Amino acid sequence: MDRSEEQLLTVLAALDNPHRLRIIHALHRQGRNYVSQLARELNLSRPLLHLHLQKLEEAQLVTSQLELSADGKALKYFEVADFHLLLSPATITEAVGKQ
Amino acid sequence: MDRSEEQLLTVLAALDNPHRLRIIHALHRQGRNYVSQLARELNLSRPLLHLHLQKLEEAQLVTSQLELSADGKALKYFEVADFHLLLSPATITEAVGKQ
DNA sequence: TACACCTGTCAGGTATTACTGACAGGTGTA
DNA sequence: TACACCTGTCAGTAATACCTGACAGGTGTA
């Protein structure tokens, strides 16, 4: 999983936040969940969770699908992507070296 | 290298900055360097570099020693620590789970 | 003494992120 | 119609992070 400095910073910025770590934690345990339900469980306002999920999705750390429930409601389900990122002096040097 | 959520966030916050990635990059290539010299090479003001080095040292990503040069000047040398941090849904879940 | 280096710190300003509350639009049931 | 859910967006504000310029103190050489 080689990344450029820009990609690396996108991921680091996405993970540098306690809410977003908890979101990954929750989704990893649950498998998947939709926005409003997750907001209730994490005790976050829906607009705020929406914003955090957006950042995580931009960094490709989570993925989403819009689905219709049995009773016709549109639910946006999120799940964690299967990412693996090794941070060390060598991997950072490699990413920065690509400028 | 297991870390709590707090430690993990300290490291992520330290790495989430282009200057600080370049500092690690430079120190990893050079081995070690002192503050004023590094500031010239990276084209950063010394107070700014000082601040970034502080963050990196707090996160234990770099280490420093104050030394006296042959002509008596006090030089603060920095070098990168040998850190290895794997980021994945599982490792994040583990760190957050420790609350 | 004056200058050239080295170190550290800090007030003040700018830029970036994080967050809330309100709005708009959708589908379903009573 | 009214209500209970779901979705998304956005203006305005609060909280952080970043950065500069100036100051203070140290050792050496001319």
For residue A96, being part of any structural domain is answered with: no
User: Which residue shows structure tokens 């306002």?
Assistant: A45
- The reported pLDDT for the residue numbered B86 is 96
- Chain segment A2-39, per-residue pLDDT in tens: 789 999 999 999 999 999 999 999 999 999 999 999 99
- Chain segment A68-87, per-residue pLDDT in tens: 988 889 999 999 999 999 99
Provide the CATH number for the domain around residue B41.
Answer: 1.10.10.10
Mean pLDDT of A47-51: 98
Residue B97 burial (C-beta neighbours within 10 Å; 0-12, 13-18, 19+) = exposed
For residue A98, being part of any structural domain is answered with: no
For residue B57, being part of any structural domain is answered with: yes
**Nearest residue of A to residue B9 by CA position?**
A16
**Minimal Cα–Cα distance from B76 to chain A, Å?**
20
> What are the average pLDDT values for consecutive 10-residue runs of chain B, which has 99 residues?
88 98 97 97 97 98 94 94 97 88
Q: Count structural domains, chain A.
A: 1
What would the two tokens of residue A41 be? 């469980």
Domain extent at residue B80: 5-92
- The reported pLDDT for the residue numbered A1 is 57
Q: Which nucleotide is nearest to A52 (CA to C1')?
A: C18
Say whether residue A31 is in contact with chain B using an 8 A CB cutoff. Answer: no
For residue B25, being part of any structural domain is answered with: yes
For residue A97, being part of any structural domain is answered with: no
